[in-house]
Amino acid sequence: MSRSRRFKPEADDGHLDLVPLIDCVFLILLFFMLVGRISYDQRNEQITVPPTKTALKMIENKDWTRVVINVFGSTAAGKIPRNSIAWNADKPWVSSGRDEQAFVGYQKLRDKLDLVYDSSRKFDDPNGTKVPGGGILQLPYVIVEVRADADTEYRVVQEIQMLLVDSVNPRPDQSGASMQPKVPQKPFVNLEFTTRKPGEK
Amino acid sequence: MSSDSDDTIEKGRIDLVPMIDCIMLLLLFFMLTTKFTSEEKSISSILPTNKGTSPAKPDKVVEPPQMVQIVITPAGLPMMNTEREYQTWYDQNVGVGQGIIPAAELRMGGNPATIKLENRKLSQRDNPNLAGEVENIHAFIHEALKRYEIPGKPRKEQSEIVVSCFSALSWRYALIAYDAARSYEVKQGAIFDAKDPNSLTNARAVSFAPPRVRNYSVKEMGAELFELHRLK
């Protein structure tokens, strides 16, 4: 008699004791809020970045803008071709690095970089590089994060680095056949390669 | 006359049902939107602004800077005599659009000793011993870099380290080599900048070689392999 009363004291008058339930739900809610991270669209999950040991945590600085260039690698999961480039959370475009289509892809990337350059605050190049029209080369307060999959072809990362420091049109049908870097016009020099510690999965 | 909720308040109870509804919705939102992925990190690099082709001719002869080359080429690449032979090898062994080259060889400058790098072993998804594999590559590069040390020279004046990787290989090889060179500098006394911990101070320059060909064509792979194989 006393035993059944001890276990169901509130049910007698038609009310369930919800306090334990609320306790549990609150704990689960707290767990998800603290441990989980809301998926960040700029960081496509199909990309597995290479492992390195000297990598450090990314630092967010209010004075600097960050843009992410995603480059896709292995297509085992199937949908996005290898070496495709995605600007932040945009839809990826193909840049195989092997044909005319690739150069259109690189040109598209340079066009986006130009827009970012034009809208960013700038500072004088610490190297004091002179521009042809006179004055010091202006560098933007922008960090470009190259988030390339470990299986991306190295040529794509190379080409992105070249695109960042100069404004040379990489299409072979323009500016003659020479693709040698010239004096940069709208360069981005602060670059970060996304990576992970080897022990982390 | 009075409503149910009035009754419960009168009895000293608060109606918890709306609160539970809200909490359940919040819980559902967090369960569906959160991802348990490891935090990504970064390696920073400052790209040069003063290495482009200058329109003005230099007024004196400039000595080319001393460099230590970390050369990465496809594994099993035999030494051949002409670019055409390399091109044939490339067409037969890698080919157009055949996907990822499974293995590479890394050597330091003209040193014939190599270490084999395998995609499979350096894949995070497959290999539980990844940290050990990366450590082996670091040890190989560190050991080789010791031989290029110029005694008495400050760190910043030591020969620049340049990573020259075949452009059709996977990005992971080039970045791991770059990372190994940086970690060697840290061992030699380089420190991370307090304002920007991603930057190394008191370290020599470590960089990626610029592409040998910009308007790529698979027909130029032979020329690139020919050059890389002879790089000292």
User: Of A151-160, B36-45, B91-100, B192-201, which has the strongest mean pLDDT?
Assistant: A151-160
User: What is the percent of chain B with per-residue pLDDT over 90, rounded to a whole number?
Assistant: 12
Q: Which residues of B touch A162 (CB under 8 A)?
A: 210-211, 214
Poorest-confidence range of A117-121, A170-174, B186-190, B216-220? A170-174
- Position of tokens 């070496």? A83
Give the H or E element holding residue B144.
helix B130-147
Which residue from A70, A91, A84, A74 is spatially nearest to A144, judged by alpha carbons? A70
Q: Does any CB of chain B come closer than 8 Å to the CB of residue A152?
A: yes
Q: Which residues of A touch B175 (CB under 8 A)?
A: 50, 52, 150, 193, 195
Residue among A148, A153, A164 minimizing CB distance to B47: A164
Residue among B37, B43, B55 minimizing CB distance to A55: B43
Alpha-carbon distance B33 to nearest alpha carbon in chain A (angstroms): 5
| pLDDT, average across residues B76-101 | 80
Task: Please determine, for residue B139, whether its predicted confidence score (pLDDT) is greater than 90.
Answer: yes
- Under the banding of pLDDT at 50, 70 and 90, the label for residue B106 is very high
**Average pLDDT over chain A, rounded to an integer:** 75
Task: Search chain B and give the residue with CA nearest A51.
Answer: B176
Which is more confidently placed, B30 or B48?
Answer: B30
| pLDDT, average across residues A53-68 | 82
| pLDDT, average across residues B193-208 | 72
| pLDDT, average across residues B42-64 | 61
CA distances from B108 to A195, B187, B221 (A): 24, 19, 21
Could you give the residue ranges of the DSSP H alpha helices within chain A?
A: 2-7, 19-35, 100-119, 154-165
* Burial bucket for residue B23 (CB in 10 Å: 0-12, 13-18, 19+): middle
pLDDT on residue A42 = 61
Domain ranges of chain B: 2-35, 67-228
Tokens representing B23 are 């909490």
> Is A179 in contact with B210 (CB distance < 8 Å)?
no
Task: Please determine, for residue B2, whether its predicted confidence score (pLDDT) is greater than 60.
Answer: no
How far apart are alpha carbons B118 and B105 in whole angstroms? 9
Task: Please determine, for residue A195, whether its predicted confidence score (pLDDT) is greater than 80.
Answer: yes
**Average pLDDT over chain B, rounded to an integer:** 78
Task: Summarize pLDDT for A148-165 with one digit per residue, the tens.
Answer: 988 888 888 888 888 888
pLDDT on residue B167 = 86
Which is more confidently placed, B187 or A4?
Answer: B187
| pLDDT, average across residues A91-101 | 61
Strands, sheet with B160-165, edge to edge from the N-terminal-most edge strand: B114-118, B103-108, B67-74, B160-165, B206-208
* Burial bucket for residue B174 (CB in 10 Å: 0-12, 13-18, 19+): buried
pLDDT on residue A189 = 85
Which is more confidently placed, A143 or A16?
Answer: A143
Inter-chain CB pairs, A–B, below 8 Å: 251
Best to test chain B binding among A23, A32, A122, A175 (most B CBs inside 10 Å):
A32
Q: Which of residues 130-169 of B touch A (CB under 8 A)?
A: 130-131, 133-135, 138, 165-169
- Under the banding of pLDDT at 50, 70 and 90, the label for residue B72 is very high
The complex's ipTM works out to 0.78
Residue among A33, A127, A154 minimizing CB distance to B174: A154
pLDDT on residue A20 = 83
User: Of A91-95, B50-54, B106-110, which has the strongest mean pLDDT?
Assistant: B106-110
User: Of A23-37, A48-62, B124-138, B162-176, which has the strongest mean pLDDT?
Assistant: B162-176
Q: Which residues of A touch B214 (CB under 8 A)?
A: 159, 162, 170, 179-180
Q: Tell how far CA B100 is from the center of its chain.
A: 16
| pLDDT, average across residues B15-25 | 84
How far apart are alpha carbons A69 and B135 in whole angstroms? 28
Task: Please determine, for residue B175, whether its predicted confidence score (pLDDT) is greater than 70.
Answer: yes
Dihedral-angle region of residue A128 (phi above 0 means left; psi in -120 to 50 means alpha; beta otherwise): left
